[in-house]
Chains A and B, each alone.
Chain A
Amino acid sequence: MNGESLEKKDPFPGEAPIPLKQLQKFQRGEKYKVPAGASRRLKEAIISSEAMSDLAQKQAARYDLLLPEDAGFLEGDEDEDTNTISQDVIADAVDITSGSKYFSLHLSQFGPYRLDYSRNGWHLLVGGKKGHVACIDWQSKCLMCEMNVMETVNDQLDQAMFAVAQKRWLYIYDSKGVELHCVKKFNDVLRMQFLPYHFLLATASATGFLQYLDVSVGKEVAAICTKMGPLDVMSQNPHNAIIHLGHPNGTVSLWSPNQKEPLVKMLCHRGAVRSLTVDKTGTRVSQSLDRKLKVQRGLLSAATGDIVQVYQNVLGSSPVSKPYMAHRLRGQIWGLAYCPFEDVLGIGHGEGFTSMIVPGAGEPNFDALDTNPYRSSKQRQEWEVKALLEKMQPELIGLDPGQLSKVDQASFEQRHKEQVEALGFDPLAKDKFKPKTKKKGRSSAGAIEKRKRKVAHEDQRDVIQQTVQERTEREKELKEKSKEKKNLENKTTLDRFRK
């Protein structure tokens, strides 16, 4: 009889709360505040666009819950160190398919091997220094192509076609191993990096030249003479497509194809920089000992001689003392690469190739519109067309990839100045406050003055703030100068013996 008690009440009324960390993951830039003297249209436009971006952020954060896969992990028991657990033990403990990801290819004839995984992690390209190049589907161990180029192979890169930097020139082969191009302009290439969204192949040569090749059109976009000696150490920042080069004097320089000088030159080590790697988010790691370095998802793998060590949580603030995992191999290690979407680290060494299981290294949830390991040939064709249509021009490469979305303040101010000169008055300046004349005797001279005085200080508020700020800054500078002067005056020769 009591209808209210029969009615079911929602125990969690309102919208479900979203954890702050997830919301922040999808936040791009800061909220835009409505400026003080804004017109109504500007206010409405800002409020509505902020509401849209809030909605997008919340929906993306909610979708995060629905992602199907979780990242891998490895946790030792109370007294056990994870770096003592060997690969065989891990391979036995997990299921068969994951266990088969730990394997070795014994190729001792053709020299230490370098390796590279394709962008979706499906194919593996190995190249030995004595000329053996092979492309395999590493999960099914199916060989795509194999050949011997009869020359030293320095580096290689993978895609539907693959590029091999051989002794003298750069060669491009297709997926069956047929030689498509021999690019003679690119000679003595030591290292290569592929910028996927720009379709640019960046090569660093022994003569000190950094060259960019557009692989969709086949044109050399830029050839920069770095004047810093042979370029042996190279990496790219996937976040903004800037090429990082390490030099024997301990500096790391950052390059873009638009400038003949490096964008940034920073001194990182006392010795030579021997290895350099950049994370997906843009955090850099460099090394001065003879090690190979690679970073993915917070796991840093470092290899010297015949030992590989993997460290966890390197990108956090606290220093890391002991490695997460370690593995010892037979030959001298020559190349390291993480597989993008699997918990696997590929190691190329003097005795061939080894694939090592590193739980937590692979990105669990991929975006199929970007890179899809399970794509069919039709999907690949469609993706290729779309990627070529969206290919970015090399002019857009810069330190800040989001620069296009910001207002170009300098040119705006210049144009405003020119407009004021041309018109004779400033069209953006606010009109002076004109109080309304009221009827029935309410608009006498005194009343109008009172109304004007109410608003008067608003005009001057900004000006006053600015002048006060400038004045305080100037006074600060003067104070500091006088302090320095005093210190200089009070110094005596005996000061050097004072502690």
Chain B
Amino acid sequence: MKVKVLCRNPDDYVRETTRDIQRVPRNYDPTLHPFEVPREYTRALNATKLERVFAKPFVASLDGHRDGISCITKHAKSLSTIISGACDGEVKVWNLPRQECLRTVQAHEGFVRGICSRFCGTSFFTVGDDKTIKQWNWEAPGYGVREEPINTILGKAVFTGIDHHQREGTFVTCGQTVDIWDEQRSSPIRSFSWGVDSFSCVRYNPVETELLASCASDRSVVLYDTRESAPLRKVIMQLRSNTLCWNPMEAYYFTCANEDYNLYTYDIRHLDVPVTVHMDHVSAVLDVDYSPTGREFVSASFDKTIRIFPKDKGHSREVYHTKRMQHVICVRWSADNKYVLSGSDEMNIRLWKANASEKLGLLSAREKAATHYNKKLIEKFQHHPQVRRIARHRHLPGDILKQKRELREMREARRRKEQNVRKHSKPGSVPLLTEKEKHVVAVVE
């Protein structure tokens, strides 16, 4: 007779000393782990609830400006420095980790319309309402030395925006025309215009460094190539775009922030239909900036909120608001993908977390594993109604909620009317336009 009875040696299953960690033998046999799906679902529900519990995005407020903030720029090489320009001509350089102002410069008389930092990280340019372009040093001057710009250029008309090339020493300004300047010259080397009286914003493409785009006052977005002699083409929309931003990862996409409460992502190869229409704001969208990963962007709006949108979805994943924050004029996403900076009308720059429930600082390996697991669980069960209800829930201030409902009613009414018109007219006479096709008026070459 052959017999073997299961006999375990406790030494193999119990730890040797109290200084060791416990022994945890595993067996992944599915019959030992029944109810896999309901247990995962329960864990996903718990993870969603905890994510909402820990969602505290506000980090700090930078105080010091004496007028509303009109523009913010990041330092090209350092994560801890930013520079902001106010509506009284003051420019301040901030240190973010210590949340203090390093230096103040009275740069212009009147608004500071645009700031951009040079790619090498040694100087920055500002343009203002006094029709000048000034170049300043990043480092503060020594004790007792007066603050003086390295270079000043006088122009003929007010400049409304400025952007610097990624690799060469050229920058572009916009005002009455889009001008390309060389740093050594005091007059533009090239000037583009297309029968428009003013441009509000101009941006260099960070990947294809010879491409430019600008927002014009005739409700259009114009594309340029610096190697060509004339502008490439323009797309005319129903309302004017305030700002635009290129996707840093995909060279052919840009997103423009429009006055009709939406943002539009266009592919420069097919300007006739936007790739996505991002709808969630209840007032004009004033600024947009992409995350360095190119997967999301943040938008600032005249309704006192900032929203974070995924690049391919039509609705926002996050909305940040505070009672103290009034109309948000400019917004930037920090280069380490973790923070969002917003500058608003009430003279404050606020620092927010890009992921509201993220734990800052160094995480241990177990914490990281737990965060990844919870994120994946929420993603896996995101379509279940209970999980979706909790994950989607965001508190909105009363007027924004009311305005949202009103806008929804207006859209419903328009849609119903269109349907009725289509029902009662000859089939095919009223064409069926998708949401994307409704907003572009024309593409002009």
A positions within 8 Å CB-CB of B: 25-26, 28, 60, 63-64, 67-77, 80, 82, 85, 89-90, 93-95, 97-98, 101, 197, 238-241, 280-281, 341-343, 357, 359, 362-370, 372-374, 376, 379, 389-393, 396, 401-405, 423-425
Contact = CB atoms under 8 A, between A and B. Distances in A.
A28 B10 CA distance: 34
A90 B26 contact: no
B30 A359 contact: no
Given A240-B34, A280-B31, A364-B6, 12 more contacts: A64-B29, A74-B1, A94-B5, A98-B6, A239-B34, A366-B25, A368-B24, A369-B26, A389-B46, A392-B39, A393-B42, A405-B37
A25 B24 contact: no
Given A73-B4, A85-B1, A401 B34 contact: yes
B35 A241 contact: yes
Given A75-B2, A368-B25, A368-B26, A391 B7 contact: no
B43 interface: yes
B3 A90 contact: yes
B270 interface: no
B432 interface: yes
Interface in B15-69: 22-39, 41-43, 46
B28 A60 contact: yes
Contacts of A404: 37-38, 41, 384
B29 to A, nearest CB: 7
Contacts of B3: 72-75, 85, 90, 93-94, 359
A424 B28 contact: no
Contacts of A25: 29-30
Contacts of B28: 26, 60, 63-64, 367
A273 B7 CA distance: 37
Contacts of A97: 7
Interface of B: 1-8, 10, 12-14, 22-39, 41-43, 46, 384, 415, 419, 422, 432
A197 B10 CA distance: 27
A403 B38 CA distance: 9
Contact of A281 (B4, B26, B27, B31): B31
Nearest to B18: A376
B34 A366 contact: no
B25 A367 contact: yes
A394 to B, nearest CB: 11
Nearest to B25: A368
Contacts of A238: 34
A94 B5 CA distance: 7
A82 B2 CA distance: 10
3 smallest A-B Cβ distances: which pairs?
A: A98-B5, A374-B13, A368-B24
Nearest to A91: B5
B58 to A, nearest CB: 29
A390 B24 CA distance: 19
A386 to B, nearest CB: 10
18 contacts: A63-B26, A64-B29, A68-B12, A69-B8, A76-B1, A95-B7, A97-B7, A238-B34, A341-B6, A359-B3, A365-B25, A368-B25, A370-B32, A389-B46, A392-B35, A393-B42, A404-B37, A404-B38
A397 to B, nearest CB: 9
A179 to B, nearest CB: 32
Contact of A370 (B8, B14, B33, B432): B33
A390 B5 contact: no
Contacts of B5: 72, 90, 94-95, 98, 101, 343, 357, 359
Contacts of A85: 1, 3
Contact of B32 (A80, A366, A402): A366
A372 B14 CA distance: 11
A391 to B, nearest CB: 7
B27 A365 contact: yes
Given A68-B25, A368-B26, A401-B37, A73 B7 contact: no
Given A25-B30, A73-B3, A401-B37, A392 B25 contact: no
Contacts of A392: 35, 38-39, 42
Contacts of B26: 63, 367-369
Given A25-B30, A28-B30, A369-B26, A343 B35 contact: no
Contacts of A376: 22
Nearest to A197: B35
B38 A401 contact: yes
Nearest to B383: A407
A372 B36 CA distance: 19
B2 A396 contact: no
A471 to B, nearest CB: 31
B39 to A, nearest CB: 5
Contact of B37 (A69, A366, A369, A402): A402
Contact of B4 (A72, A369, A373): A72
Nearest to B380: A405
A392 B35 CA distance: 9
Nearest to B24: A368
Contact of A396 (B8, B29, B30, B38): B38
Contacts of B6: 69, 71-72, 98, 341-343, 359, 362, 364
A74 B1 CA distance: 7
A93 B3 CA distance: 8
A402 B14 CA distance: 35
A376 B18 CA distance: 11
A357 to B, nearest CB: 6
A367 B32 contact: yes
A401 B35 contact: yes
A121 to B, nearest CB: 11
Given A28-B30, A95-B7, A98-B5, A390 B42 contact: yes
B35 A73 contact: no
Contacts of A28: 30, 36
A343 B7 CA distance: 8
A498 to B, nearest CB: 54
Nearest to A401: B35
A405 B37 CA distance: 7
A390 B39 contact: yes
Nearest to B422: A424
A190 to B, nearest CB: 26
A372 B4 CA distance: 22
Contacts of A379: 22
A401 B38 CA distance: 7
Contacts of B384: 404
